[in-house]
Amino acid sequence: MDLAFLKTLYQRPGPYASVYADLTRTTEDASKAAELRWRALRSELEAQNTPEATLRAIEQTIEDDMALRRSEGIVIFAADGEVVYGDRLPGPPRGTRATLAPLPDVLPYLAERGERFPHLLAVVDRRGGAIDCVTADGRHERIDVDGDEDYPIRKVKAGDWNQSRFQRSSENVWKVNAKKVAHEIDRAAERCGAEAVVIAGDTRARTAVLEEVSEHVLEHTVEADKNTTVDDPDLDAELRRLLQLKSTERVMTVAERFDRELANGQRAVSGLDATTEAVRQARVETLLLVDAPDSRARLWVGPDPSEVATSAEELREEFGVPEPREVRADAALVRAAAATDGELVVLPSEGPVPDEHVGAVLRYTA
């Protein structure tokens, strides 16, 4: 997971309020229930002495979201009287929580967010097609491709005296339109860096388009046997299934590389001490963290992301940090990895390094 999108989150001195709110509204008194759940979280923040301005900013965001019924769950990170980062979830968060700390509590969100691959969805027919391309940061580009209709696009009935000529004309139009759609798919996929492509629609049109797209696009493409629109929920489910498979494949690839490098004693480290040293030295290519919301592992940090250590004394004596602050270990490591353009893989609790809860694949050996 590319952590670049988090860099601006860490530009405040803090403290940070982190809120995972369940806004589900599935019963008659749903709005009231959602409001009560938020009130409980607000009380938790008040008990932790969250600044009033920060509380107001969070409350305004949640009230606006509930009024517009935008989502069933929301994640908010706020500091210095402002919501610094927020994201709406397709469902309630796996665990509701509200905390105040020197750093934002991001790992539960990152585990739920998962890897976001740039992808492309195309629905084609014999007249053209509709393309929806989505970048890694969620930006959509919608392209409608209008094919050529100067000639018949349907074959005539058997027995017509002009049957063979019209059939050839129809097939030529389909091929021309397929080339036009394929060209736009190739261009859109290159612009958004699509790593997953789903092509749906008319069977003959799909086949013709697949014959024309580039080899690079074809490598990442699956067909959906649906003659529908790009907004079809079933088609969206097929796309999400494909993206989940890619995410699982990515985790397995990194985990296998981690095991291999660790066994060879080369470009990998395991355990909190070794990983903390590596991330402080900007040697971490990919940080591996186990999804453990209740982990008690802690680190000490200073204002700069590279100022991270396993003890306050180390920060004071070796790095000259006058006032080290104790934080969740995963929060400190994610901040340091994001600042040095490292990536993150969140592992399930039964994955590699479960006892240590942390490890890293390195850019280079020390």
Whether 182 is covered by a domain: the verdict is: yes
What pTM, to 2 d.p., does this model score? 0.81
Position 350 confidence tier, pLDDT thresholds 50, 70, 90: low
Answer yes or no: is 307 within a domain. Answer: yes
CATH number at residue 60: 3.30.960
- Domain hosting residue 134, numbered range: 119-246
- Tell me if 79 sits within 8 A of 304, measured CB to CB: no
| Helical (H) or strand (E) element with 322 | none
More confident residue, 111 or 162: 111
Do strands 196-201 and 119-125 pair parallel, antiparallel, or not at all (unpaired)?
A: parallel
Residue 254 lies in a domain: no
Do 70 and 145 belong together in one domain? no
Pick from 133, 253, 148: nearest CA to 189: 133
Q: Which of 200, 218, 246 is at the close of a domain?
A: 246
The partner residues of 76 in beta bridges, in order of sequence, read: 19, 86
CATH number of the domain to which 133 belongs: 3.30.420.60
The pLDDT tens digits of the residues spanning 283-342 come to: 999 999 998 888 889 999 999 999 999 999 999 998 899 999 999 999 999 999 999 999
Residue 18, in any domain of the structure: yes
* Domain count within the chain: 3
Q: Is residue 172 very low, low, confident or very high in pLDDT (cuts 50, 70, 90)?
A: confident
How many other C-beta atoms can be found within 10 angstroms of the C-beta atom of residue 289? 25
Classify residue 211: in a domain, yes or no.
Answer: yes
Q: Which residue has the tokens 């490591």?
A: 333
pLDDT tens digit sequence for 327-339: 999 999 999 999 9
Residue 201 shares a structural domain with residue 298: no
Residue 201 and residue 134 share a domain: yes
- Angle of CA points 316, 318, 319, to nearest 5°: 70
Instruction: Assess contact for 352 and 263: CB atoms under 8 A.
Output: no
On the question of pLDDT at 30 being above 70, the answer is: no
HSE-CB of 257 using CA atoms within 13 angstroms: 16
CA atoms 144, 245, 26, 93: torsion sign: negative
Average pLDDT score over the chain: 86
Residue type, 25: R
Verify that 108 and 135 share a domain, yes or no. Answer: no
For residues 293 and 288, what is the distance between their CA atoms, to the nearest angstrom?
Answer: 15
